[in-house]
Structure 1
Amino acid sequence: MNDTAADLDSAIGTVPDARRPTPKPYDQELVTLTRREHIELVQRASSYRSLHARAVARIEFVERRHQAEKARFAQREAELKAALEAAQAQIRDLRLRVFGAKTEQSRRINAVCQVSAGPPRPRGQQRGRRGHGRTRLGGLPARVEEVTLQTTCPRCGLGLSAFPGTQDAEILEIEVKAYRRIVRRHRYRPLCCCGALPGIVTAPPPAQLIPRGKLGVSVWVEALLSKFLYGQPSHRLLQDWDDHGLHIAQGTLTEGLRMLWPLLGPVAEAGLDELRRGSHWHADETRWEVFEEEPGKVGHRWYLWVFQSATAVCFVLDPSRSASVPAAALNHVDEGILSVDRYASYRKFARLNPGVKLSICWAHQRRDFLRAANDYPALWDWAMGWVGLIGELYALHARRRQQWADGDAAFKDSDAETRALVASMEQRCLDELADTALAGAAHKVLRTLRTYWAGLILFLDHPAIDLDNNAAERALRPAVVGRKNFYGSGSQWSGQLAATMMSVLGTLKCWGINPRTWLSAYLHACAHAGGCMPADLDRFLPWRMDEARLSAMRGVACATIDSS
């Protein structure tokens, strides 16, 4: 019995151990078991241990699966939150694009970015300051109207006697009217009999811009300026003329514009040559619809590129948006600075032309921070901090640039202050890129800033250049207005005419020339040349004009300008 009890204790793991506590009285009582009962107890103990082991393994498996499910759902939750945040950011961005203000000079942003001391100067007439009064336009022709009185005294019936002097009032009026210019060519009979002259000699015909055309130069000047400078659709212009009693068919206007295109092309080509002689250019592009099918091209989207220097502007219409366009426009250019945005074609052009350096636009970088602030409200303070730094950089560079142009000795101090600010901005960018607490949208903006940093700080070594590419964007404004009003061009030749006219008008704007004055003089010269380009084209190129002719072209009286 003692052996049996010992075997049972060994089977169920109750062998006395020195580490056990002191046995209780019932621990010392012995129980007599049969062999069968012993075997059954051993089998049950083994079964319970097996069930317990399987239960423990099952619990461990369920726990591991639960942890994996938690990790998977946590990852899924993070992805959904990120997608929701991106969707909400996109909604805020689209809402701002559709319903928000188009200008970036909002009061809320300017209040954060105010770098000048004191409150900003209010707009309009300043309180306590003397105004300039009405502007006198003495150069305009005057029509004098005499107003007299034919009345008597209402009480006694006696008349009025004239008093010296008048009390004058000036009213500005504008009068637009169409008229027929009838040219009577007188005929003569020669008095001699030598036969050198025909039997009837007629005075020469009037100069015509378009052979056998009935529309004069003034009509074509108005049509070209109305469409390509002021963005008015052709059908609306014809309707305006019709209201004034001048009915012109759409086909007549269209065919006449097609015939004028070759006359204006040489001026644009000369402007392109002048552009290539520069050393600093602005470039940008925008879409332009050409509603004419072209083999191998899907859709009607073309691109209108603009290249601007200090003396010339050139527009290029091309079906592609590749680097071949700037390569063709700046052909044979060995070195210079090209102010652009971050479009890849310009970077490729710079790789193919190592002498041309890219100056990247700070305004685009500023828009990245503004977009991050709008799309992710949690980043507002961080983004506005960067916008404030960029605003301070603009103010410092404007002062530094003016001092450099004037040869001011204070330029060195301004230059050192600007470089110190740029260095602090670079260090802040590096520190924030290393900060993992910042959101992914902030890191994306900072990575973009870091990628284009070399082009963004090119202005430090070239004080004369701008911080942004706004000059090119302003040059594209007539094209954008025209695209909005008349959608684009109906054919390739009309698109090329639009690019040519915008090139000519943009160049005239660079020189401060009145476009109506210049265009009237040039088209009159073409008319005197028999509807061809003038023989002396240099007389109409601003960079070839003397000061007297430039002054005359900048005025409004085109009748005194020699167009021959």
Structure 2
Amino acid sequence: MHQIDGQTIDLQADSQPYISIPESEYLELRNQVGYWKGMHQKALLREEGLKQEIKEKDGQIRDLKNRLFGKKTEKRPSKTEKANPKSNENKRPRGQQPGSEGHGLTERPDLPVVYEQACFPQNPVCPCCGLPYTLDGSSGPETQIIEVDVKAYTRRIVRQTGTKICSCKGVPQTITAPMPPKLMPKSPYGISIWADVLLNKFRYCQPTNRLLNHYEELGLPIFSRYNFRRLEQSQRII
């Protein structure tokens, strides 16, 4: 209990004193509080980054120590082995061993066979007397050579036609078989060419100019401008 100017005022024990300050000073203090909070947050983030960097550096140091001072996996020759080196006489040679059974030639029964006849370049004669040999026409030993023949060709399609023998009205007099399907109706090139172009371009990443040069070597020159335009159309179709 306190008396001020003859009046009795009851002040609680837990009451706190208040200090009056100007508004400008109050705003400045609030700004400083926000500033130092932001600086504290940045310091925490920087500390976290430094801890992560130290952790990575420690891992690199451990790795380098293991490489330099760790146990070696390669076996080094001892002093005894250096003094008494082993002879190379008992070492087994590398590769296929003499007398071992090989795997033989790979059979390819699915490949078509093209028969050819190997003839003498000139009429064979006896090297002693010069008389010619008599060619009896019998077949000799056979030799197999696997070849790959790639060439361009033109499919000339003759469409079958038919003529009606009835007297029905509203029916065409003649009919023609439909054309085989094409990837692009107005393109003169077939599906096999476009499939090869798309595979080499997008699967094997072969430059288009190199592919066109390859077709030109096969006897099929294709203009690059035409090919680029059709490639864009084929991408839209796919």
TM-score by length of 1: 0.24
User: Given the alignment of the two structures, is residue 126 of structure 1 paired with residue 96 of structure 2, yes or no?
Assistant: yes
Tell me, in whole angstroms, the C-alpha distance in 2 between the residues paired with 1:113 and 1:145.
59
**Structure 1 residues 224, 191: closer, same or farther in 2, change over 3 A?**
same
After superposition, residues 290-439 of structure 1 pair within 5 angstroms as none
Give the aligned partner of residue 114 of structure 2: 143
> Once structures 1 and 2 are overlaid, which stretch shifts more, 229-238 or 155-164?
155-164
Measured after TM superposition, the shift of residue 180 of structure 1 is: 1.1
Unaligned runs of 5+ in 1: 1-110, 115-121, 265-564
**Structure 1 residues 255, 160: closer, same or farther in 2, change over 3 A?**
same
Letter in 2 for 1:145: E
Higher relative contact order (CA 8 A, sep 6+): 1
**Structure 1 residues 214, 164: closer, same or farther in 2, change over 3 A?**
closer
User: Given the alignment of the two structures, is residue 159 of structure 1 paired with residue 133 of structure 2, yes or no?
Assistant: yes
Measured after TM superposition, the shift of residue 156 of structure 1 is: 6.2
User: Given the alignment of the two structures, is residue 256 of structure 1 paired with residue 223 of structure 2, yes or no?
Assistant: no
In the alignment, which of 193, 202, 205 is matched to residue 231 of structure 1? Answer: 205
Measured after TM superposition, the shift of residue 238 of structure 1 is: 0.6
For each residue in 1:267-310, what CA deviation from the matched residue of structure 2 results, as whole angstroms up to 9, or x when unmatched? xxxxxxxxxxxxxxxxxxxxxxxxxxxxxxxxxxxxxxxxxxxx
Tell me, in whole angstroms, the C-alpha distance in 2 between the residues paired with 1:113 and 1:260.
57
Question: Alignment identity in percent?
Answer: 30
TM-score by length of 2: 0.52
**Structure 1 residues 112, 235: closer, same or farther in 2, change over 3 A?**
farther
Measured after TM superposition, the shift of residue 253 of structure 1 is: 2.2
User: Given the alignment of the two structures, is residue 171 of structure 1 paired with residue 145 of structure 2, yes or no?
Assistant: yes
- Verify the 8 A CA contact 1:178 1:246 in the aligned structure 2: yes
After superposition, residues 57-68 of structure 1 pair within 5 angstroms as none
For each residue in 1:217-272, what CA deviation from the matched residue of structure 2 results, as whole angstroms up to 9, or x when unmatched? 110111122122322101110111112221212233223333333554xxxxxxxx
Measured after TM superposition, the shift of residue 143 of structure 1 is: 1.3
- Verify the 8 A CA contact 1:188 1:200 in the aligned structure 2: yes
Measured after TM superposition, the shift of residue 196 of structure 1 is: 4.2
Letter in 1 for 2:97: R
Letter in 2 for 1:259: Q
Give 1 or 2 for the bigger CA radius of gyration.
2
**Structure 1 residues 187, 125: closer, same or farther in 2, change over 3 A?**
same
3-state DSSP class of the match of 1:188? strand
Relative to total residues, which structure has the larger helix share, 1 or 2? 1
Tell me, in whole angstroms, the C-alpha distance in 2 between the residues paired with 1:184 and 1:143.
28
Measured after TM superposition, the shift of residue 151 of structure 1 is: 3.4
In the alignment, which of 190, 199, 216 is matched to residue 164 of structure 2? Answer: 190
Letter in 2 for 1:153: C
Give the aligned partner of residue 241 of structure 1: 215
**Structure 1 residues 230, 157: closer, same or farther in 2, change over 3 A?**
same
Tell me, in whole angstroms, the C-alpha distance in 2 between the residues paired with 1:163 and 1:200.
55
